[in-house]
C-alpha cells in the first residue's frame, strides 16, 4: 500500500480491515478501561469513511529484517455542522453511520493514538499528515473539530501548537472507575 507520507522510520497509510487487530492493540495500550472504544466501532468507521481512517507504521527495532508495524491510528468522520449544545454527538462509540456526511463542512476527529514505544515525534507526524491529506481530498471541509480529555497533555500540546482553540467543555465526560475528567472541545477554522 502506497504511503501518504514517510520518513526514515515511519509512514502513514490508509487503514485496512486487516489492520483492526493491530488498531485494537493500540487502543488497549493507549486508553484506560472505560475510555476505550469497541472493535465494532472501529470497523464501522473503516466501513463508513475509509478515507478518514489512517495508520502509522513504524520501523520495528526488534526486527532484524527491518519490518514496520502498525503503531498508531487516526480516525475521523465528516459532519454537516458543529453541534450546538448537543453533547450526545460526542459520545464514545457513537454511530458513525448516523453522523457521517461526505459533503459536510466539519472534519470530526474521532480518535488518534500512538503506541508508547514509538512516541516522540510520531504523534505530530501522523496528526499533521492526516489533517493535510483530508483537507486536500475533501475541499468542502471548513473546520476541524474534536474533543480531548483535559488530562491528555501531550495531545493538547500538539493541538494548541497546530492552531486549535478551546471552544467548549463537557464536565465529567470521561468516566473511569475511580475518576471523571472533563472533555475539552477544540476547533480550528480552515
Ligand X SMILES: CC(C)(COP(=O)(O)OP(=O)(O)OC[C@H]1O[C@@H](n2cnc3c(N)ncnc32)[C@H](O)[C@@H]1OP(=O)(O)O)[C@@H](O)C(=O)NCCC(=O)NCCS
Q: Which residues bind ligand X (CB under 6 A)?
A: 30, 112-114, 119-124, 148, 152-155, 157-158, 161
Tell me how far, at minimum, the Cβ of 103 lies from ligand X, in Å. 25
Nearer Cβ to ligand X, position 94 or 124?
124
Least Å distance between CB 36 and ligand X? 11
H, E, C per residue of the chain:
CCCCEECCCEEEEECCHHHHHHHHHHHHHHCCCCCCCCHHHHHHHHHHCHHHCEEEEEECCCCCCCCEEEEEEEEEEEECCCCCCCHHHHCCCCCHHHHCCCCCCEEEEEEEEECHHHCCCHHHHHHHHHHHHHHHHCCCCCEEEEEEECCCHHHHHHHHHCCCEEEEEEEEEEECCCCEEEEEEEEEEC
Minimum CB separation of residue 172 from ligand X in Å reads 17
Nearer to ligand X, 113 or 141 (CB): 113
Cβ at position 159, least distance to ligand X in Å: 8
Amino acid at each position: 500500500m502506497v504511503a501518504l507520507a514517510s520518513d526514515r522510520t515511519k509512514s502513514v497509510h490508509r487503514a485496512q480491515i486487516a489492520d483492526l487487530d493491530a488498531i485494537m492493540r493500540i487502543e488497549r495500550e493507549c486508553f484506560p478501561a472505560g475510555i476505550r472504544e469497541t472493535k465494532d466501532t472501529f470497523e464501522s468507521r473503516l466501513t463508513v469513511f475509509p478515507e478518514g481512517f489512517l495508520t502509522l507504521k513504524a520501523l520495528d527495532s526488534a526486527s532484524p529484517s527491518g519490518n514496520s508495524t502498525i503503531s498508531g491510528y487516526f480516525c475521523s468522520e465528516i459532519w454537516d455542522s458543529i453541534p450546538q449544545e448537543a453533547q450526545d454527538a460526542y459520545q464514545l462509540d457513537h454511530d458513525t453511520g448516523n453522523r457521517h456526511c461526505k459533503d459536510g463542512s466539519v472534519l470530526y476527529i474521532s480518535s488518534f493514538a500512538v503506541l508508547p514505544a514509538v512516541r516522540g515525534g510520531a504523534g505530530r507526524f501522523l496528526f499533521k499528515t492526516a489533517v493535510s491529506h483530508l483537507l486536500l481530498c475533501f475541499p468542502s471541509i471548513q473546520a476541524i473539530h474534536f474533543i480531548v480529555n483535559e488530562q491528555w497533555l501531550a495531545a493538547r500540546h500538539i493541538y494548541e501548537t497546530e492552531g486549535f482553540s478551546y471552544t467548549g467543555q463537557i464536565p465529567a465526560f470521561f468516566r473511569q472507575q475511580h475518576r471523571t475528567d472533563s472533555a475539552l472541545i477544540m476547533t480550528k477554522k480552515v
